[in-house]
Every structure is written in C-alpha cells, then in structure tokens.
Amino acid sequence: MSKQKKTGVAEIMNRNDEWRYAKLNDISSLKYGENLLGSDMQTDGFPVYGANGHIGFHSKANLDKETVLVSCRGEYSGTINLAPAFSYVTNNSIFIHLKTANIETKFLYYVLQLVSKARMVSGSAQPQVVINDLKGIGVKYPDKKRQKQISKILSTTDQTIEKTESLIHKYQQIKAGLMRDLFTRGVTADGKLRPPREQAPELYKETPIGWIPKEWEVIPLSQMSEIASGVTLTSKISPDQKIEVPYLRVANVQDGYLDLSEIKTVRVNQKTFDNLVLKKGDVLMNEGGDFDKLGRGTVWEGEIDNCIHQNHVFRVRVSTAQLRPYYLAYWTESDFGKKYFILSSKQSTNLASINSTQLKTYPIAIPELLEQKRIEVRINSINLKLQNLKNEKNKLKSQKSGLIYDLLTGKVQVKIDQKETAHV
C-alpha cells in the first residue's frame, strides 16, 4: 500500500472506480535511447532529447511518433518528457512505446508526472532509473474521451508555460549578445560601450583569446585566485570524522544560481572542514558531467552556515584586488568561458570534465576593477528581468502540478463536450 501512495495510483483508484488499471509493463515496451557524442550535435536538424529534455539537434531521428520519455541518468533522473515525432533520444532517457490503443500518449505523459521520483530513482552518488523499476508502476486511466479532455485542459496550461519559456529564451539570447559586447568592448567611465573594433581599431589589441580593449590584460585564473577541489565521498568513516556538515553537489551549482532545494550532509574531520568551508564571495564551478554542467558556476553568498563542497565542485577564492567574484562568474557564463571549457575538457559519450590544472590556466580578459563593476551592473539588469520571468514560470508549473493532481485523482471531474462525444 505504501508503494501505491508513492505513485499516486492508490488515490486514483479510491476516488475514481470507473477508471481502468494496468502496469506500465503490460501497456508498453521500454527501451533505452542511443549513444550520441557531443561532437555529433548540430545547430539544426532533428531535435535531440537527453536527460534534461530538448538539448540540441542531430542529422537523424530514432523515433517516428510522439513518445513519452523518462530521464534515466544524473540529477534529472525520473523527469518525464514528451518527445515529438521524428526526434533523436539519447541513452540518458528511456522510451515508453505504448502497445495499446486504449491510452493516449499525451495522457500517459501527464499521469506519469504523478509518480514520485523516489519510486523510480535508485542510486545516491549517481542517481539513475532502470527499466525494471519502471515495469511495475501502475497507470490508472479513464475512457479515451476523458483522457483527451484532461490532456486538453493540461495542454492549455502547458501553452501558457511555453509562452513564458519563449520569453525567457528571448531574453537569454539578448543577454548572450550583450555579454559578447561587454566582454569584447567593455564599458567606459561614461557608461557606454567602446566603439566596435571595425570603427576604432586603435582602441583594441589582439590576444590569444581574441581582440580586447588595449587597457585590458589576459591573465590565468591561478594568478588571481586560490583554487580548491572538495571532499571525496566515501562509505568508510574514520574515528576523527566527527563533524557533520552540509555540502554542495553538482546538482546544487547551476548556471548563474544555486539550487538549494535539496542539501545533503557529510561527516569530515576538523582539518578538512577548515580547508573546505565556504566563505562569502567564493566562486563555485562544476568539474563536469553533461555538457551543460561543464564549468557552470555562481557566487556563494553565505546562504548556508558551515557549508563545504564535494570534489566535483571547485571553489575559486579570488584576489579581490585584481578580480571581482561576479565578474569571474559572468565571464564563465559567457561564450568565451564556455568555449575554453569545451575545448579543454576530457570528453566521452554525452559527458565532459575539466581538472584543476585546466582551471588554473583558464584565461580571463581583465579590465580594471571599476570597469569590471560597470560590466556587472549591465548584466545584473537583464538577470533581474530573467529572474522575474523564471519566477512566473515556476508559479505556473506549481499551478499545473495542482491541476494534474486534481484531474488525475478524480478530485475534479472533467466534463465531456457532447458535440465531441457525438463524433467519437
């Protein structure tokens, strides 16, 4: 019974006895996606779906109809996605191919969102979903007319979310263009961008990382900071590991912000704690994982007391006489920063990583401190707009979750359009 509560199936059965019940294994075939190297990704073509939904494009597709996916590796394990027809699905997701005509694909997509991730996900250091754990998940479904009506209602909410996501994407593109200008032209004392190099070549100089204002310097990160790797997790605990403290994982360190919704703890000794405890102004950067995690980071503002970091998260403590923490974080977020990490990283199927040596030689274009601050102010302004849009998106997603629960537990009964029924 406890297992049914986790999936939400028990409540559906109790509230709505008209609905039919089946296990996922009885109504579908389950299959892992296929390997895809990052170097094989393209800027156009068939959409590629990985652990975090749509991640890019490829020259071919490996499914020919709309299909429900379950992310099966890493921090997004257990996330439910819906891939359109003619997409490519990587081995970071599991296909759910329906074998029955009694269930609508889109309805299955929504009903699986009621399933607790704890029911699907195994593993701690590296979360994963395996096919055998999905086979026994129960699905409760009404007749197809009601399935379509429920899907229609929820799709309307999804469309509102998608419009907000489109606005977010638009401002992210604006931000990317702004950052290219800021990190190649800078901001002068009068608050303006320098003229482009084509118009005023005398204001610029050529460097190994490209053209930059002549007053700037390119300096390796190690000459302006202390770089430290974090604690290595192990099942063995020695007698001197008496201090239990919170620590940051790769999942906590996002691109430009921290996700502190789930914080884990680890036992360490006093020396390790003293060496790794985070201080306000530390810049956190990820060692790697999926390509979107490589080098991503943000600034620690002391959100949690006595917090340390895992070995897959680097801590960069800058010399504030040369480099401002947020300037470094924004440089890392820019195309210039990401390009270095991608070219320098060790790559395998769908994964990439950097080491401390590569991070120490990380080249950064450095203006004087006041100009660094002026650049930060420009980026902060558009970040505020983006954050407001993201907050609106999160609010809509929360409302959608409540609606899914109400509709798929029978708490709210859907009305069937009589005209539609007449044509079925």
Judge if 185 and 121 occupy the same domain.
no
Give the pLDDT confidence score for residue 424 in this predicted structure.
39
Judge if 184 and 313 occupy the same domain.
no
Judge if 307 and 350 occupy the same domain.
yes
Specify the DSSP class assigned to residue 233. Answer: P
- Whether 305 is covered by a domain: the verdict is yes
**198: CATH:** 1.10.287.1120
Give the pLDDT confidence score for residue 372 in this predicted structure.
98
Judge if 49 and 127 occupy the same domain.
yes
Give the pLDDT confidence score for residue 289 in this predicted structure.
58
Judge if 201 and 337 occupy the same domain.
no
pLDDT tens digits, 228-269: 999 988 777 788 888 999 999 988 988 788 999 999 999 999
- Whether 208 is covered by a domain: the verdict is yes
Which alpha helices (DSSP H) does 285-412 contain, by range?
325-333, 335-344, 356-360, 369-408
Give the pLDDT confidence score for residue 11 in this predicted structure.
42
Give the pLDDT confidence score for residue 269 in this predicted structure.
93
What pTM was computed for the model?
0.71
Task: For residues 255 and 356, give the distance between their C-alpha atoms in angstroms, rounded to a whole number.
Answer: 19
The strand ranges marked E within 179-238 are 204-207, 210-213, 217-220, 225-228
Judge if 355 and 235 occupy the same domain.
yes
Which residues constitute the domain of residue 185?
155-213+368-414
Judge if 22 and 133 occupy the same domain.
yes
Give the pLDDT confidence score for residue 342 in this predicted structure.
73
- Whether 78 is covered by a domain: the verdict is yes
pLDDT beneath 70, residues of the chain: 1-17, 124-125, 288-295, 345, 347-352, 416-424
Structural domains in the chain (count) = 3
Task: For residues 25 and 136, give the distance between their C-alpha atoms in angstroms, rounded to a whole number.
Answer: 7
Q: Do the strands 243-248 and 308-309 form a parallel or antiparallel pair, or are they unpaired?
A: parallel
DSSP H or E stretch at residue 416:
none
Please name which of 241, 284, 248 lies closest in space to residue 265, comparing C-alpha atoms.
248
Give the pLDDT confidence score for residue 13 in this predicted structure.
40
Give the pLDDT confidence score for residue 295 in this predicted structure.
62
- Whether 421 is covered by a domain: the verdict is no
- Whether 235 is covered by a domain: the verdict is yes
Judge if 239 and 356 occupy the same domain.
yes
Task: For residues 26 and 65, give the distance between their C-alpha atoms in angstroms, rounded to a whole number.
Answer: 20
Tokens coding 422: 């007449």
Residue 99 · residue 139 · CB < 8 Å: no
325-333 and 335-344 helices, crossing angle to 10° = 70
Give the pLDDT confidence score for residue 351 in this predicted structure.
61
- Whether 148 is covered by a domain: the verdict is no
**136: CATH:** 3.90.220.20
Give the pLDDT confidence score for residue 4 in this predicted structure.
42
Judge if 186 and 221 occupy the same domain.
no
Residue 295 · residue 341 · CB < 8 Å: yes
Interior angle at CA 88, CA 94 and CA 155, nearest 5? 75
Give the pLDDT confidence score for residue 291 in this predicted structure.
57
- Whether 339 is covered by a domain: the verdict is yes
Judge if 79 and 183 occupy the same domain.
no
Judge if 261 and 170 occupy the same domain.
no
Give the pLDDT confidence score for residue 233 in this predicted structure.
85
Residue 85 · residue 141 · CB < 8 Å: no
pLDDT tens digits, 365-416: 999 999 999 999 999 999 999 999 999 999 999 999 999 989 987 778 877 6
SS3 call for 115: coil
Judge if 206 and 274 occupy the same domain.
no
- Whether 147 is covered by a domain: the verdict is no
Give the pLDDT confidence score for residue 420 in this predicted structure.
47
Give the pLDDT confidence score for residue 292 in this predicted structure.
58
